[in-house]
Structure 1
Amino acid sequence: MSEDLSGAVFLIVWLLGTQTESLPVIRAHYCSTPPVIDGVLEPAWQEADSATGFIQQIPENGRPASEPTTVYLLQDRHNLYIAFRCPVSDFSQVHDRLSDEPDGVRVLIDPFDDNVNAYCFIVGFNGVESDYRITGDGTAYENWDGVWRSAVRRHDWGYGIELAIPFRSLRYPPARTEWGIDFARYLVRRGERSFWSRHEVTGFRVSRMGRLTGIQPAGRGLGLELYPVGLVRHEQLVLSHAVGSDALGAEAGLDLAWAPTPSGNLQFTLLPDFAQIEADPYKVNLSRYELWLAERRPFFIEAVETFGGSYQPVKIFYSRRIGRPLPDGRAVPILTGVKWTDRLGRGQYGLLGVLTGELADEPQSFYSVLAARHQILGNSELGLLYAGKDNRQFSNHGLALDGIWRHRSLTSRLFLCGAQYGDSLDYALSLEGSYQSDRLSGELVVRQIQPEFNMNGPGYTTWRGQYGTIYLGPVVYNRGILRYGAFQPGVELNREWDYPARTFDRRVFVNLSAQTLSQHLLTIWTGYGDRWALEHRFSAGNAGIYYVTDYTRPFAVSIYLSYETRSANYRRLMIAPVAQMELTLQGRLGDRLLVWYTHSATVEADSLGRVSRQDLTSVLRPGLEYSFSSKASVRLSLETVTAYDPETGLQSFRHYLFGLYSWTFAPRSNFYFATNWGYDAGSLNAIFVAKVRYLFNI
């Protein structure tokens, strides 16, 4: 073989990231009589193929798990059945509180075998179930709510866990008989995570999961899911000890999901109940930009990775714009919505359309999102994303090209987007690269968002300018008392378009992170530089610390402290010192009760560094949660805010009391009763809501 040809072969192998390490394999045997899901582990499981030899991912990477685990797997026409046999040498070391994350197991399934995305099913020793979607080859996690069931049973030798996962709950290619799969066991007090397949100490990766062969799902029937929703809401507003308004109303809505193919899913919602009576937590905002708020509505969360995921370098789609709250507190009504997602070959595709109603100055609007992603070079990706908002006042559309390249410890991303808002056209560009190994970590980000780039209709565009940052430093694992340690020095440059010509913010920084073997976490950061803001050039330094004690103990503490010698305070339009603090105390009383108290404070000095009482913003958040079982709980929380009012220049006081009883009585079927009492500026607003949602699976 010539040198040129051998070099080309080496390059191809390197680009594809071919793995030389063999992956474990388990076969799905067919069972004519399904096992009873009760945690007993009846003799039928002896006919199943099994997985053993779990390997620690942390703390002692590559060593055998400290407790042996055996997993059995069966299938019939409609379900995948999985059983865990988990021996326990000392039950006093098992973490099983309902009020906390317990010891337990995980099942991870990659039906498309794309080495990027996976379903994760979690069952704790205390019977608590949860699930989510893994994206980005294990680097990101998205909420998901699947239909499946499990059972846990304690035995003299340990505990058994059984799961039944319907094929109709998963999206999969109909002709593929081999999937990616992995199993995990977590021992919380030991800080141990062990997997069937070997994973690096730097983290779990979908691309390193084992193989599931012989999988043969049968037909899915109609694949139709109906979710009728009924809601009763009572709202009362009291002004100066007199009733300002008193309203009682009943609402009904319908959510429909149809899976015409094993890989496709169509969701439709009519007059949905997307209102949140639990307000977003109060946050101090001293910048000149609006805050980013996390999405919590199931219709928008499911399959979010198809539409760019929760992380977009330039956010051309921001689902919280849909049904957004207005300044008077009312939310723009959502009339109807439809969402389609599908997987064809190595590609995934999505369509989202939502119609919102007219309210106050917000006209009736139509939001549209289209997405297409295709895998290339192993588990790398190339995608297109479109988002738009149209109404009688304006139109706003954006189209982005998104490329992600992954190779072992390296990840890079190119995001190029063009936007139209009214008569203006402009673009945004982001380049990112990261490296993560067991000895070194680093990241490079370069970003430019043009002055006329605007995606604030369906997306989120605040900052516009040029930005660049780089850090690179050593990391250590399992050395001395450290489970993990990192030293990250770096530099940062930033320029917004309203700065004077050739003016940049410049900063050098150092971040230190450490996690001990006893599960204490410490992060320290400091930096110094100069910047431009409020028509002034100034130099400033900053420092901070974040510390968390072992969360597995009955009592835990976390503390956050930060200080900036000079900062641009856009709430008071001055350049002055700012200090922030947050203290959280958390205690577990028995197995079912969790109580907490959080106190956060922000101190805004004046330009001469002087502080008065009205310069303090204080937020108190005590609360408790009691778990009746793994399916039912009640939560009470209070938020008291003492804050600076920029309109009056004085302090204002707000109080919120929130209560919630929730009961999941069947998969994706729940009942809740909630109340929210808010007191602000002499007015009392009380809301009571009772809601029932039930799944009809056809």
Structure 2
Amino acid sequence: MIFFFLSFVVPFVENPPKIDGILEEVWNLSPVISNFTQQEPLEGEPATESTYVYLLQDKENLYVAFKCYQGVKPVLEIRGWDNASGDYVTIFIDTYGDGDKAYFFTVSTSGTQEDGIVVRGGVSSDYTWNGIWFAKAYLTDYGYNVEMKIPFKSIRYKNGEWGLQASRWIDKKDEWDYYIPVKRFQGLRVCDFSKIVVHPEIKGRFLEVYPVALVKYSSDLRPDMGLDISYNPAPSFGLNLTTNPDFAEVEADPFTVNLSKYAIYLQERRPFFIEGQDLFKLHMSGNFNIGGSPIRVLYTRNIGRIVDDSTKVPVLFGMKEILKIKNIENAFMYVLTGEAGNEPLSHYIAFRTKTSLSQFLNCGFTYTGKENTINSTRVLTFDGSYLKGNNDILFQGSFGDSSGKRGPAFYGNYSFMNDKFMFSANGSYIDGNYAINEVGYITSKGYSFIGGFGPVFVPQNIVKYWGFALGSVFGKDFEVKNPSLGFFVFTFINMKKSNINWSFSISDHWEDTSNVDFNYKSKSGNFNIHHRFSEKLRGGFWANLNYGFNWSSYYTCYYSNYGFYANFEPLPNIHFDFDVDGVGWWEEGLKMFDLRLKNMEENYITFSPELDYYFSTRIKFGLRTQFVYENNTNSIISERINPIITYNISPKSWIYLVYTVTYDRDNKMIKTDEGSTFKIRYLFYF
């Protein structure tokens, strides 16, 4: 008999199951979890296929099994770690039972494993966490099975009551099923998880020793080594140490054209900084948010950056610490960088403490700073968040001191969305003396307020749901005397195979150019569509047309960003991506109805074909290419070819073999960079 369990004790077994995807009789000792409910496409309806989940434990591990019935053959797509595709299942465990965070473990029909942490009660997921766990999938005549073994040493936890959720994705039906029903517009909520009782008999966590060896050949041979150590004497405490950390990037940043007056925000790619980033970030929900993002008081791309155009600052030492005591979580990071160019020896410090005042209310305090013999930057920030039902509130108050230049900053956001109505309000104030870009990242300084609202419709036919919103924005940059006022309209349509969005805005805008206030009518139109043509082919197109100040050419004009993408999977182990991104602008004074592609003043088009060939879920050959076209010269001005072989030897252990060659145009194409890299990261754990 199948029951809907609100709580149960996970049975203890002396002889645990073998992890091979074939379900043994020992699983019959577990209570059976079933009766899944759809989130998509028909919210609240029973799942169209049966799913059964089983849980067991021994002294050292939690065991999970899925038995998935399917009327048609499951979709099998071979991918590498953290890239589950095709049909797959996921188990979520809130190991502190406090409704704040949860680990998730995903396994696809091909055996691809994916893991991460659900943060801030469920509004966002952090895929940078990688654990040590084991899984197998097995295709059957009724569908497929999945078995997992999750060592208690690989996760942080308390003994006793945990939260539990399970989900299943059925690719051919575009169907999301959940054990505990999940509302479409509210999304996953950790506080709604069912309860299980788990009693691990093992103390402490893995001691992880993580050496890295690197050999790079360009004009000469350059070997290098590094070492990471992770020591976790208790489930709630962890200490990470690193010397000469692994900051070697196997893929370069993409080509960009910057039309604004601010530095482009770059994604972090270095493992030491990627892991655990969620501890220092405020996460917004994925629902109706129309304003800016929270203040980035820690921007790790500042650490070990490029100075004097070409000199890279060395990172000598790094340390991270995490401690959780009841409802209080603390995180600390210290990094020492060496001298390079005009950059002296510097100390970077980041500290955060967060406490849960209730199941729905959190508050936190963050300090970020940089110290050296020339200057200092110190930033103190208080933040709070409230998440209940469809209501999502974020707040930040910050004070920055950069070598005596002091100023405050504030940020607030509220969003609400259900099946009838959506509303969002966002405000920020950045003082002119709030200078934190040595450790954080901010762009404009001044104040801004934006709000919007509108109806939502759920017709439940070919269109699953759609809505539109009207709103306005009011703000002023500290560099100008007059405020700007604007209005916008936004529409979205979500269908079974497509998503369509478009928006239009107009504002009376003021800009500071050469210390002179400049007024113009700013206009912007945006459109994007994403469509799933078949199981093997997906694609999309986007475009925007704007009228504003172009800081690249230093005049007002029309400018545009546009592009399209296509993902094609001819075989389960072959994946093609083809992306095209364009950015261009027209000459000053040209009217909108006179705009043509052929009369663009400048136009850059970046073509990025990519190929992934999977020999298995552990071994992959990838080919990354990039070609940049410029209309003025009617030629390719940059080429980059980057083949890469990756081998996932064992949990968190990788071998990389990379080759990169770059050509840039100077009257003719000249090879500007070429090199090969061999890198191995191998984890020893005890």
- Tell me which interval the TM-score lies in, with the shorter structure as reference length: over 0.9
Aligned to 2:288: none
SS in 2 for 1:479: coil
Letter in 2 for 1:53: N
SS in 1 for 2:365: strand
SS in 2 for 1:137: helix
Matches within 5 A, 1:271-286: 271-286=244-259
CA contact (8 A) 1:514 1:521 kept: yes
Residue 281 of structure 2 corresponds to residue 269 of structure 1: no
Pick closer, same or farther for the CA change 1:436–1:614 going to 2, 3 Å: closer
Pick closer, same or farther for the CA change 1:222–1:122 going to 2, 3 Å: closer
Distance across 1 between alignment mates of 2:561 and 2:137: 44
Matches within 5 A, 1:62-73: 62-73=44-55
SS in 1 for 2:654: strand
Instruction: List gaps (5 residues or longer) in structure 1.
Output: 1-21, 236-245
Aligned to 2:390: 409
How far the C-alpha of 1:284 sits from its partner, in A, is 2.2
Matches within 5 A, 1:241-256: 246-256=219-229
CA contact (8 A) 2:584 2:601 kept: no
Aligned to 2:650: 666
CA contact (8 A) 1:26 1:51 kept: no
How far the C-alpha of 1:25 sits from its partner, in A, is 2.4
Distance across 1 between alignment mates of 2:549 and 2:589: 14
Matches within 5 A, 1:147-546: 147-173=132-158, 176-202=159-185, 203-213=187-197, 215-220=198-203, 223-235=206-218, 246-309=219-282, 313-326=294-307, 328-477=309-458, 479-500=460-481, 503-517=482-496, 519-533=497-511, 534=513, 535-546=517-528
Distance across 2 between alignment mates of 1:526 and 1:550: 26
SS in 2 for 1:293: coil
How far the C-alpha of 1:139 sits from its partner, in A, is 1.1
CA contact (8 A) 2:627 2:638 kept: yes
- Alignment RMSD: 1.9
Distance across 1 between alignment mates of 2:5 and 2:256: 47
How far the C-alpha of 1:374 sits from its partner, in A, is 0.3
Letter in 2 for 1:605: W
How far the C-alpha of 1:596 sits from its partner, in A, is 2.5
Distance across 2 between alignment mates of 1:123 and 1:110: 18
SS in 1 for 2:173: coil
CA contact (8 A) 2:539 2:564 kept: yes
Distance across 2 between alignment mates of 1:445 and 1:310: 14
Aligned to 1:15: none
Distance across 2 between alignment mates of 1:357 and 1:31: 53
CA contact (8 A) 1:481 1:516 kept: yes
How far the C-alpha of 1:222 sits from its partner, in A, is 6.5
How far the C-alpha of 1:122 sits from its partner, in A, is 0.7
From 126, 132, 145, the equivalent of 2:130 is: 145
Pick closer, same or farther for the CA change 1:572–1:644 going to 2, 3 Å: farther
Q: Matched residues, percent identical?
A: 26
Q: Deviations over 1:598-642 (max 9, x none)?
A: 222222111122774651112111121111111111111211123
Letter in 2 for 1:58: E
How far the C-alpha of 1:486 sits from its partner, in A, is 2.3
Letter in 2 for 1:269: T
Distance across 2 between alignment mates of 1:428 and 1:95: 49
CA contact (8 A) 2:152 2:202 kept: no
Pick closer, same or farther for the CA change 1:543–1:163 going to 2, 3 Å: same
- Between 103-112 and 475-484, report the one with greater CA deviation: 475-484
Letter in 2 for 1:144: W
Matches within 5 A, 1:548-627: 548-550=530-532, 553-564=535-546, 566-609=547-590, 612=599, 615-627=602-614
From 87, 90, 94, the equivalent of 1:110 is: 94
Pick closer, same or farther for the CA change 1:30–1:158 going to 2, 3 Å: same
CA contact (8 A) 1:614 1:651 kept: no
- Between 316-325 and 476-485, report the one with greater CA deviation: 476-485
How far the C-alpha of 1:302 sits from its partner, in A, is 2.3
Letter in 1 for 2:9: R
Aligned to 1:240: none
How far the C-alpha of 1:301 sits from its partner, in A, is 2.4
Q: Deviations over 1:557-582 (max 9, x none)?
A: 21111112x21100110000112210
SS in 1 for 2:532: coil
Q: Deviations over 1:642-690 (max 9, x none)?
A: 3599xxx999822111111111110001111111111224342112111
Letter in 2 for 1:677: V
How far the C-alpha of 1:283 sits from its partner, in A, is 2.1
How far the C-alpha of 1:523 sits from its partner, in A, is 0.8
CA contact (8 A) 1:491 1:509 kept: yes
Matches within 5 A, 1:69-88: 69-88=51-70
Pick closer, same or farther for the CA change 1:552–1:212 going to 2, 3 Å: farther
Pick closer, same or farther for the CA change 1:102–1:308 going to 2, 3 Å: same
SS in 2 for 1:96: coil
Distance across 2 between alignment mates of 1:660 and 1:624: 10
TM-score, length-normalised on structure 2?
0.92
Distance across 1 between alignment mates of 2:15 and 2:564: 55
Aligned to 2:289: none
SS in 2 for 1:50: coil
Pick closer, same or farther for the CA change 1:326–1:589 going to 2, 3 Å: farther
Task: Number of aligned residue pairs: give it.
Answer: 655
Q: Deviations over 1:52-109 (max 9, x none)?
A: 1111122212211110111110000100000001011111xx2212267211100101
Q: Deviations over 1:330-371 (max 9, x none)?
A: 432111100001111111001100001111112111100110
TM-score, length-normalised on structure 1?
0.91
Q: Deviations over 1:156-180 (max 9, x none)?
A: 121110000000111112xx31001
Distance across 2 between alignment mates of 1:234 and 1:146: 32
Distance across 1 between alignment mates of 2:649 and 2:459: 44
CA contact (8 A) 2:164 2:194 kept: yes
SS in 1 for 2:234: coil
How far the C-alpha of 1:208 sits from its partner, in A, is 1.3
SS in 2 for 1:189: helix
CA contact (8 A) 2:426 2:450 kept: yes
Residue 668 of structure 2 corresponds to residue 695 of structure 1: no
